[in-house]
Amino acid sequence: MHVIAADSLRDLITGTFFLTLPGVLLLSWITGRLLGVRRSWGTTVAAAVLGWGGGVALSFVIASDRADPAKGFTRNIFLFSALGVMSMSVWLELLARPGTLAKAQSGFTSIPRPLRALRRRGQRVSRYAQITRIAMRNGLGPGLGLARQDDDAVDGKAPLARRLRHALEEGGGMFVKMGQVLSTRPDLVSPTVADELSHLQDHVAPAPPDAVRELLQEELGAPVDEVFAEFDWEPVAAASIGQAYRAQLHGGQPVIVKVQRPGVGEAVERDLQVLDQLAHTVEERTTWAADYGVVELTTEFSDRLREELDFRIEARNAADISANLTDFPNVQVPVVYPDLTTSRVLVMEWLDGVSVRDGDRLDELGVDRNEMAGYLLRCMLDQMLVDGDFHADPHPGNVMVLGDGRVGLIDFGAASRLDPMQQAALRDLMLGVAQRDPELLRQAVLQVATLRRIVEDDELERALARFMGRHLAPGMTPDAAMFNDLLQLFFTYGISVAPELSTFFRALITLDGTLTTLSPGYPTIDEAQKVATEWMRERVTPETLQEAAKSELIRMAPLLRRLPRHVDRLATSIERGNLRARVSLFSDERDVRFVTKLVNRAILALMGGFVGLVGVFLVGTTGGPSFAGETTLYEFFGYFSLFCSVVLIMRVTVAVLHDGLN
């Protein structure tokens, strides 16, 4: 083996460094085009550095065996670096979670800030480690697929629901918020878990007044004293996302100012990213999480929470609901001041009234509680089943009676929207409950539900009939709480309803509690059925039926015109024996995914076998340039090919074993 002089070696290193390092990113970009992929800048840099380093090292090994080391050295660097970068691109895809890098192929969408990105990533990693330790300490590790039971975990005999609540309380931040949301989803968790999680509370101290003053000045573009004539710095309410203050404008109007807690946006985003990472981990490692679609549920929760961070959405909710109350003049929604409202500050009219939970003061106002409860019920049902935009949290603290006897609704951070299909399904559901018809109830549910597993129609219908027997038998007084049992029935049969429908049921149950607080003993479900019956009578008249028939006939006119021609063609085809049926084999996305997975595994297996044969051929080839000691370059590539072959074949084998089909 030839030895390179120290000066020549230094010149080669210096020349190679300045010749190839500036072009390494360009080389990585070119190889990406050759592979037909667009990668994120992080993946591009990683593949470039690792592939270039391997190419340079291999070029030096070859050069050290030549009499003239510099001959062909630069060519070898570019050749082996290109091969190295492409190889590293493939290995990065193999080492990463399937599909991760493909989702990150967005290129340079913004100017990289490595120090800030590194700091935020460090915070996420630290937070993720903290959450996993909390989960394992509370004995949740095995169920989440994180680790075996921690020796330092709490008593394993403690109920799961209690351990889950303790873990969420320790996690704090948005994990408490997630637990509160889960407590309202009896279609996803058992009644025991839902009841336990309902005790979760936000234990947060008010933000410092100086930080709030600075945020207000930044958002409003002026000092607080210039915008408001008076401002009470003692918050009337404080939660994990925002807190509310009383103030007065210079025109004398009393207002409520809702301010986002300083720094909460970044903390929420960090926790949501940790939650997303945890959801992917749990779904990959446990079967129950995959059945429930935990990643999809987490995404829904994250999207809704990000909406809560933008107070302009709450202002729009209030404006939309207020615009739909023209038929209910005795219901008041606070006026929003759009000029003073931003994504982190919301200024609304202060409604001076009495909470419906304060019975003594209501009696002093001399209002008819039963009549007011009926009016409020009609208003809420109209929002839910007619308008589609409704107040999703009508608990007694958000409903008040004003001094002039009107009903006031406040706090529109929790609002929801139902699309026409969901509204139609809910009307059918209410009709099925009123008529005690399990078949109609099943059809209404399946219009908008997602089945996590195959459910026999007859079996589900019998279960719904038993549900009606428990809650709607003759002589029984139905209440809104029965919808909790209905959602639990869905949970048992693997039926998931859309978040909007779950919000509807929760709002109806909450409304029932408010109505009974306002008027003790108020029969919410019976009155709701009466209202629905009145609506049906008003809408089903000879005039409306005639109009509906005309509309349906107009809609069907094109089909009726084409029907004779289609029948004639069908009869002719049958007579001639030319009747054929066209079947789309891959119309279902699940079929496409299954076949794609099957084909990909077959390709990987064939590729592994082919690369293995190439490796055997190269190992058996004599001669060639020396690589290290008595090993030739052919032998090196042969052994490397055999290694790649084993990895590919073992990857397919492990995937098959994970499917449980072996």
Residues 6+ apart with CB under 8 A from 111: none
How far is residue 238's CA from residue 258's CA, in Å, rounded to a whole number?
10
Considering all CA atoms of the chain, what is the largest pairwise distance in Å, rounded to the nearest integer? 108
Name residue 306's amino acid: R
Q: Measured on CA atoms in the order 380, 382, 385, 386, is the torsion positive or negative? A: negative
The number of beta carbons lying within 10 Å of the beta carbon of residue 469 is 12
Question: For residues 483, 487, 492 and 498, what is the CA-based torsion angle, rounded to 10 degrees?
Answer: 160
By C-alpha distance, which of 374, 369, 413 is closest to 391? 413
The DSSP result for 602-644, as a single string, is HHHHHHHHHHHHHHHHHHT-----EEETTEEHHHHHHHHHHHH
HSE (CB half, 13 Å, CA atoms) of 19? 14
Q: Which residues of 573-602 are buried (b: 16+ CB within 10 A; e: fewer)?
A: eeeeeeeeeeeeeeeeeeeeeeeeeeeebe
How far is residue 212's CA from residue 317's CA, in Å, rounded to a whole number?
25
Give kind and range of the element (H or E) at residue 542.
helix 542-576
DSSP-derived pairing of the beta strands 626-628 and 353-355: unpaired
Active site residue 588: no
The number of beta carbons lying within 10 Å of the beta carbon of residue 619 is 16
Question: Are residues 386 and 427 in contact, defined by beta-carbon separation less than 8 angstroms?
Answer: no
CA–CA distance from 303 to each of 69, 183, 202, 345 (Å)?
A: 60, 18, 20, 20
The number of beta carbons lying within 10 Å of the beta carbon of residue 176 is 21
How far is residue 183's CA from residue 204's CA, in Å, rounded to a whole number?
20
How far is residue 472's CA from residue 490's CA, in Å, rounded to a whole number?
18
DSSP letter at 326? Answer: T
Q: Which residues of 532-557 are buried (b: 16+ CB within 10 A; e: fewer)?
A: beebeeeeeeeeeeeeeeeeeeeeee
User: Residue written as tokens 């994120």?
Assistant: 40
Please tell me which residue in 150, 187, 393, 411 is annotated as part of the active site. 393
CA–CA distance from 219 to each of 58, 252, 339, 340, 343 (Å)?
A: 58, 22, 11, 9, 8
Based on DSSP, count helices (H) and strands (E) in the chain, helices before strands: 27, 15
Tokens found for residue 126: 């630290």
Specify the length of the chain in residues. Answer: 662
> How deeply is 348 buried, as exposed, middle or buried, from its count of CB atoms within 10 A (0-12, 13-18, 19+)?
buried
By C-alpha distance, which of 177, 159, 156 is closest to 168? 177
Residues 6+ apart with CB under 8 A from 354: 361, 362, 365, 400, 401
What residues are annotated to the active site?
A: 393
